[in-house]
Amino acid sequence: MERKVVVVVAVSVAAVACGMAAAAVGWRVRKRREWKKAVRVVREVEEECETSVERLRQVVDAMAVEMHAGLASEGGSKLKMLLTHVHNLPNGSERGTYYALDLEGTYFRVLRVHLNGQQSAILEHEVELQTIPQHLLTSTSKDFFDFIASSLKEFVEKEDDSELSVARRKELGLTFSFPIKQISVCSGILITWTKGFSIVDMVGKDVPACLQEALVRKGLDLRVAALVNDTVGTLALGHYHDADTVAAIVIGTSTNACYLERTDAIIKCQGLLTTSRSMVVNMEWGNFWSSHLPRTSYDIDLNAESPNPNDQGFEKMISGMYLGDIVRRIILKMSLESDILGHISSKFSMPFILSTPMIAAMHEDDSPNLREVERILKDILEIPDVPLKVRKLMMKVCGIVTRRAARLAAAGIIGILKKIGRDGSGGITGGRRSDMKMRRTVVAIEGGLYSNYTLFREYLHEALHEILGEDIAKHVILKVTEDGSGIGTALLAASHSSNNVDRI
Ligand code: ADP
Ligand code: MG
């Protein structure tokens, strides 16, 4: 009897053990299956984001062709190719004290720059940052500009009477980051407000004129000498330090580019009275589009859910505003297709919860166990206990999205160089490489994405070399500028000053 019990017990233990083993095997099989599903999602994204040199060259050509079309007629391309009427880029010979007002969003900056006429020297500059009171964002143009003019007056009157500023009329450059139709270098009509502003009576008015009237009301003798966007300020700053600077790129939250074009190539402005041989063109390249861009379902969804669907297609693939959200969408898809991330928190479906600096931190995590990736997944997306292998997969996703962005930006830059015959190929009309003598070519570049995300920068440089080839690439220099929208704009006030007759 006793033996029988023992046998029964033994059999049951064996059965449980067998069951457990089978369950363990089943669990492992299922895990492996889930892992494979997640890997498949990543592999598909990787293929769809492929930016071979051949494909990048097609993007280069498309950019150059679209630039041409945008210069030929108004509305001829998704690239607006706006005329800035900036003919005189600063060249280092400017002298005196100049001001800039950078009106970017809900704050503004005022700057003072001292120049002594010696190439490349900026003696010193001062900056003040001010917040615009909320009620002024929806007030009248008079109230708004009176507030700005008062701040400027206070700032200008703090100036010491240095020898450089005596006996010169004070002049100011205005960086205005809202859509305007520029009429001359110092006038432009506000098309519409963005970024929460709604000063209704301003729309359709000349922005510098409104500021100028407010300055007069405040009794401040300060002339608005230039109205520009931040990219043009970057080009001005680059050119001030290095006369071989032909283009400027800004890659931060948003992205844009401008460059120096021959006036006779700007077909849509023929008849415009100018004796200058060149003009800065603001491309608004964020709106570039080409069927050669490697677009994924994640881009399509992001675009469809954005407040400006079908606009800014290039920007949505390359700028800091969007990269984090593309990564979030891919991770969300992985977690829906497989259970490798366990329970999905509601955080995941919140657009823009994962920022681009966060994906940079995950991508550049060099700790042995990817602790930074772990921290961001846990703290931001509320996904705890993600295994190392899965963390590595997340890191890979960040790399895929960033690499595509950086390589497309590189192709865009070379598209500009191609348009102006600085890519070693003879421009878009063709020509044999051997006939060309490549000139030193500098592109000014700034913006938080480029400056702070090392791997983005490295991918961009790598692609530049791959597309151009080493022989040509060694003549193309990307130079980081700092504060083009402030200092660069003050320099434009100097180069367009009534005190100054230097020309490019
Ligand atoms: P803005 O473009 O808003 O005028 P910036 O040129 O300073 O200002 O760029 C800020 C943007 O740069 C941020 O919105 C972010 O997308 C990106 N950025 C800033 N820091 C980093 C970082 N460490 N890694 C990646 N991207 C960054
Ligand atoms: Mg900026």
Residues 221-235 pLDDT 10s: 999 999 999 999 999
At position 446, the amino acid (one-letter code) is E
Q: Other CB atoms closer than 10 Å to residue 265's CB: what's the count? A: 16
**Top mutation candidate among 176, 312, 452 for ligand 1, by most atoms within 8 Å of CB:** 452
Determine phi and psi for 173, rounding to 5 degrees. Answer: -105, 140
Q: What percent of the chain has pLDDT over 90?
A: 73
3-class state of residue 250 by DSSP: strand
Residue 321 Cα: closest atom of ligand 1: 16
Q: Going by DSSP bridges, is the β-strand pair 222-228/170-176 parallel, antiparallel, or unpaired?
A: parallel
Residue 252 Cβ < 6 Å to ligand 1: yes
Tell me which residue has its CA closest to atom 24 in ligand 1.
357
Determine the distance separating the centroid of ligand 2 and the alpha carbon of 30, expressed in angstroms: 48
Tell me which residue has its CA closest to atom 19 in ligand 1.
448
Q: What is the mean pLDDT of the chain?
A: 90
Ligand nearest to the CA of 229: 2
Residue 452 Cβ < 6 Å to ligand 1: yes
Tokens of 337: 């297709």
pLDDT (average), residues 447-468: 98
CB under 8 Å to 120, separation ≥6 — which residues?
Answer: 92, 240, 241, 242
Residue 229 Cβ < 6 Å to ligand 1: no
CA 371 to chain centre: 29
Residue 324 Cα: closest atom of ligand 1: 16
CATH 3.30.420.40 positions along the chain are 88-228
Burial 310-333 (b: 16+ CB within 10 A, else e): eebbbbbbbbbbbbbbbbbbbbbb
Burial of 129 (0-12, 13-18, 19+ CB in 10 A): exposed
Given CA atoms 446, 447, 448, 449 in this order, what sign does their dihedral have? negative
Q: Which of 262, 243, 269 is nearest to 184 (CA)?
A: 269
Tell me which residue has its CA closest to atom 15 in ligand 1.
320
Structural domain 88-228, CATH architecture: 2-Layer Sandwich (3.30)
CATH 3.40.367.20 positions along the chain are 51-84+240-483
Residue 435 has pLDDT above 50, yes or no: no
Residue 485 Cβ < 6 Å to ligand 1: no
Q: Which letter does DSSP use for residue 488 in this model?
A: I
**Top mutation candidate among 356, 363, 445 for ligand 1, by most atoms within 8 Å of CB:** 356
Identify which has the larger pLDDT, 121 or 317.
317
Q: d(Cα 409, Cα 463) in Å, to the nearest integer?
A: 9
Residue 277 has pLDDT above 80, yes or no: yes
Residue 355 Cα: closest atom of ligand 1: 16
Q: How confident is the model at residue 273 (pLDDT cuts 50, 70, 90)?
A: low
Tell me which residue has its CA closest to atom 21 in ligand 1.
357
Given a contact cutoff of 8 angstroms between Cβ atoms, the answer to whether 96 and 164 are in contact is yes
Determine the distance separating the centroid of ligand 2 and the alpha carbon of 70, expressed in angstroms: 25
- What is the pTM assigned to this prediction? 0.91
Tokens of 282: 């603001």
Residue 161 has pLDDT above 70, yes or no: no
Q: Count of alpha carbons within 13 Å of 467, Cβ hemisphere only?
A: 31
Q: How confident is the model at residue 294 (pLDDT cuts 50, 70, 90)?
A: very high
Tell me which residue has its CA closest to atom 22 in ligand 1.
357
Q: Which letter does DSSP use for residue 206 in this model?
A: B
382: left (phi over 0), alpha (psi -120 to 50) or beta: left
Given a contact cutoff of 8 angstroms between Cβ atoms, the answer to whether 230 and 177 are in contact is yes
Residue 320 Cβ < 6 Å to ligand 1: yes
Ligand nearest to the CA of 446: 1
pLDDT (average), residues 426-444: 69
Q: How confident is the model at residue 478 (pLDDT cuts 50, 70, 90)?
A: very high
Identify which has the larger pLDDT, 30 or 228.
228
Identify which has the larger pLDDT, 28 or 469.
469
Burial 175-207 (b: 16+ CB within 10 A, else e): bbbbbbebeebbbbbbeebeeebebeebeeebb
To 5 degrees, how large is the angle CA 267–CA 271–CA 272? 95
Determine the distance separating the centroid of ligand 2 and the alpha carbon of 255, expressed in angstroms: 9
Residue 503 has pLDDT above 50, yes or no: no
Tokens of 194: 């963005």
CATH number of 51-84+240-483: 3.40.367.20
Residue 453 Cβ < 6 Å to ligand 1: yes
Q: Which of 100, 412, 476 is nearest to 255 (CA)?
A: 412
Determine the distance separating the centroid of ligand 2 and the alpha carbon of 253, expressed in angstroms: 7
pLDDT (average), residues 161-185: 79
